[in-house]
Amino acid sequence: MSSPAILTPTESQRTPPSLVALLPGVALLFGIGIAGKLLQSALTLLHTRYPHVFIPRIEYVLLAILIGLAIGNTFGVSERFRPGVATYELWLKLGIVLVGARFLLQDVLHIGGLSLLLVAVELALSLSVMTLLGRIFKLPPKLTSLLAIGSSICGVTAIMAAQGAIEPEEEDTSTAIAAILTLGAIALVTFPAIGHLLHMSQQGYGVWAGLAVDNTAESLVTGALYGQDAGRWAILVKTARSSFIGFVVLGYAIYWSSRGLAPGVQHKGIFLWQKFPKFILGFMAISVLATAGFFTTGQITSLSNLANWAFLPAFAGVGLRTNLRDLTGQGWRPLIVGILGEVFIALVTLALVYWSYSHGVAR
């Protein structure tokens, strides 16, 4: 059987497709998301009717990912569906912006100082540890850079932002993306279990998920699987972490261009603005409006419901875009480097968050 055709982020950089061309893929995303919701409801009903039979309780977000993963790695995503499936990131950013209505500005400011400090620690750890491990395992230098960038900021988005700046081999990009997505899938299972084992608070767990899970979608899902409040805090911390993408990519662009292996950066200010994730501004704008009382309680509820609908296709896209076959393109060393680095970062950030909340540094 031929290798399944999986959507890759590079395809989203082509000429924007027409609205009609987007419809099949968007319908597939929503179809998978709704299927996840229906399957969760069915499992809940079965558990109610047969309480003595072991029936796992799985959240719809994880079910949507699993369905997408199964489809993407068996049947693949055909050319007809790819343009629409590529919109998963747009839905994700729209959901994050709308969630801003549930954050009053004082909430953002309250967690801001602590989260920025923890984000700074996470950035330093990710960049240094991944670079060190990449050299120890003798990975291609630019693949090492991509793993470091992806693990420190926001996963696939950061890798794609760096691709045009440092010009890695296409195989390096595919391998780094596959490794980051696989590690995110592992986090969906391990993080909630660890959180429950340690009896972490919703806020503490959400901060940890926002810090330690790389890809934005997986970070949000990992938080939401623990609880609604945990999902909100994961979004806030992850958004703060994503805001550093321009500075990190700029640093690597300057480094590789100084070695004559990447294009030079002519205007650093323009470069930073181009790489800065604009949805963060939307998130802050909605939060400011909510703080000022611009929205009624009913409108905030409606915005929250719209955010949930926006996340539905985004979570489905997480599974569809994950190509497990890409992991073996350059052997198992990139995945080993990723696992070792992520485990170390997750443990250190967990210790910092746990200490902060247990000693009253954060409330």
Between 5 and 44, the more confident residue is 44
Per cent of the chain over pLDDT 70 is: 90
192 within 8 A of 226, measured Cβ to Cβ: yes
Instruction: Give 293-350 pLDDT, tens digit per residue.
Output: 899 989 988 998 898 889 889 888 888 877 767 666 667 889 899 999 999 999 999 9
Q: What is the pLDDT of residue 359?
A: 66
What value does the mean pLDDT take over residues 95-108? Answer: 78
- pLDDT band at residue 80 using 50, 70 and 90 as cut-offs: very high
- Residues 6 or more apart in contact with residue 58 via CB below 8 angstroms: 39, 40, 43
Q: Which residues contact 257 (CB under 8 A, 6 or more apart)?
A: 263, 264, 265
Q: What is the pLDDT of residue 9?
A: 47
Q: Which pLDDT value is given to residue 178?
A: 83
Mean pLDDT taken over the chain: 85
Q: Cβ(87)–Cβ(22) under 8 Å?
A: yes
Looking at residue 81, what is its pLDDT?
A: 93
pLDDT tens per residue, range 227-264:
988 998 898 899 888 888 889 999 999 999 888 877 87
Please give the pLDDT value at position 106. Answer: 65
pLDDT tens by residue, 119-174: 889 999 999 999 999 999 999 999 999 999 999 998 888 998 888 888 888 888 88
Which pairs count as long-range contacts for 271-277, CB under 8 Å and 24+ apart, including other chains?
271/246, 272/246, 272/247, 273/246, 274/246, 275/161, 275/245, 275/246, 275/249, 275/250, 276/243, 276/245, 276/246, 277/93, 277/154, 277/157, 277/242, 277/243, 277/245
Q: Could you read off the pLDDT of 180-221 as tens digits, one per residue? A: 888 888 898 899 999 999 999 999 999 999 999 998 888 988
Q: What would the pLDDT profile of 261-273 be if each residue is shown by its tens digit?
A: 778 787 888 888 8
User: Quick check: 14 pLDDT over 80?
Assistant: no
Give ∠ CA 345-347-350 in degrees, rounded to 5: 105
